[in-house]
Structure 1
Amino acid sequence: MRAPSLAAIVLVLIAGSLFVLVAIGGGSRDAPKPVAAGAPPARSVSVNGFALTSTAVDLPDDAATYPPGPHADLVNQRCLSCHSASMGLTQPRLTAAQWAATVEKMRDTYHAPIAPGDVPAIVSYFTTLQASKPQPAG
Structure 2
Amino acid sequence: MLNQLLKFTLVSSLLLWLKPRWQGLLALTVAVLLVHILHGEYLGYVELSGNDQFLLVSFAIKWLALIVTVLTYYLLAIRRLSVQRSRVPEPEPQRAGPTEGKEFAGDDGFDFLRDKKELEGEADKLIARQPGK
Superposition TM-score tier, normalisation by shorter sequence: under 0.3
| Structure with higher RCO (Cα < 8 A, 6+ apart) | 2
User: Which structure carries more strand by proportion?
Assistant: 1
TM-score (normalised: structure 1):
0.22
TM-score (normalised: structure 2):
0.23
Structure 1 or 2, whichever has the larger Rg, is 2
User: Which structure carries more helix by proportion?
Assistant: 2
